[in-house]
């Protein structure tokens, strides 16, 4: 059955691939990009089934207006894919104030605003699905990506909570967590100005690895295939969709380590409560 998608960050990377595949199989796509002139080739090929809306994630009014327009031009939107965002590479100490504000405004506040703006429309149409593109970096952390991780861990907590709030309305969420993939993500990284003090440190080693020695195994084509299958899946959706062997291994290791550390602190945690005897006193 034909579906209608709303996809942000549609001009490149996973967003463009996802739009191409949705259109190829006969679906409709409302794409959001900084420019309404994005994807001229696809607009020419699918003039009746593709519409591009201008949206600036750093401008909350722009996000809300774009969402209102998207639902106004579509009888129904079945899947909202919140995909737009970018990475900031560098040690936390190196990041300037503007760099900090920009990535939080885009990746975190922009994504939050997008979801807030979509919810009343999804409620009024009786439900829908939201795929929030996060990252393996929403559950694990690398040095030199602290601000990027702050946005991804932040949006994951937001989605975990909101998903419970809107479940009664038939609105379902999945956090999509790709590992490193052969998209333009690396080439579009914003970079801090390196400080000499960090030479040879883990942050610097990550910088060096990204200059050429890091073999990226993630296939964007296979990742977007998994996102399409998720949109077609019946029944309860997974809270998280992990994509890539490195992402799976890294997240599993991180979760195991956190559980082990938590278990070692059980006695300390329990001892921080009032005892049953204390609670029973009048």
Tell me the catalytic residues.
134, 148, 152
Contact in structure between 160 and 227 (CB atoms under 8 Å): no
175: helix, coil or strand? strand
Q: Which residue has the tokens 């409709």?
A: 28
Contact in structure between 22 and 78 (CB atoms under 8 Å): no
Distance in angstroms (rounded) separating the CA atoms of residues 262 and 255: 10
248 class by beta-carbon count within 10 Å (0-12 exposed, 13-18 middle, 19+ buried): middle
The sign of the dihedral angle between the CA atoms of 221, 42, 171, 63 is positive
144 secondary structure, DSSP code: T
The CB density around residue 188, as the number of other CB atoms within 10 Å, is 11
Contact in structure between 137 and 152 (CB atoms under 8 Å): yes
Cβ neighbors of 220 (< 8 A, separation 6 or more) are: 13, 14, 17, 181, 182, 183
Tokens of 83: 């995909």
133: helix, coil or strand? strand
Q: Are strands 240-243 and 190-191 parallel, antiparallel or unpaired?
A: unpaired
């Amino acid at each position: 059955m034909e579906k209608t998608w709303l996809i942000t960050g549609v001009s490149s990377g996973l967003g463009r691939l996802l739009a191409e595949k949705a259109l190829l199989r006969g679906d409709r796509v409302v794409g959001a990009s900084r420019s309404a002139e994005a994807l001229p080739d696809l607009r020419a090929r699918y003039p009746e089934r593709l519409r591009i809306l201008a949206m600036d994630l750093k401008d909350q009014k722009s996000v809300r207006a774009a969402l209102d327009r998207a639902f106004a031009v579509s009888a129904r939107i079945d899947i909202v894919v919140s995909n737009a965002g970018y990475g900031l590479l560098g040690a936390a100490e190196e990041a300037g104030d503007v760099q900090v504000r920009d990535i939080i405004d885009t990746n975190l506040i922009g994504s939050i605003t997008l979801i807030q703006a979509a919810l009343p429309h999804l409620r009024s149409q009786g439900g829908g699905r939201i795929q929030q593109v996060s990252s393996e970096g929403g559950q694990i952390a690398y040095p030199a990506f602290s601000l990027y991780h702050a946005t991804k861990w932040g949006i994951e907590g937001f989605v975990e909570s909101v998903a419970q709030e809107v479940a009664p309305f038939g609105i379902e969420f999945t956090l999509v967590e790709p590992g490193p993939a052969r998209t333009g993500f690396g080439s579009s990284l914003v970079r801090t100005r390196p400080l000499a003090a960090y030479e040879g440190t883990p942050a610097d080693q990550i910088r060096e690895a990204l200059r050429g020695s890091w073999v990226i195994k993630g296939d964007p084509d296979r990742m977007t295939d998994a996102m399409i299958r998720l949109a077609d899946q019946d029944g309860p959706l997974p809270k998280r969709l992990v994509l890539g062997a490195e992402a799976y291994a890294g997240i599993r290791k991180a979760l195991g380590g956190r559980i082990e550390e938590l278990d070692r602190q059980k006695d300390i945690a329990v001892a921080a409560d009032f005892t049953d005897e204390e609670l029973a006193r009048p």
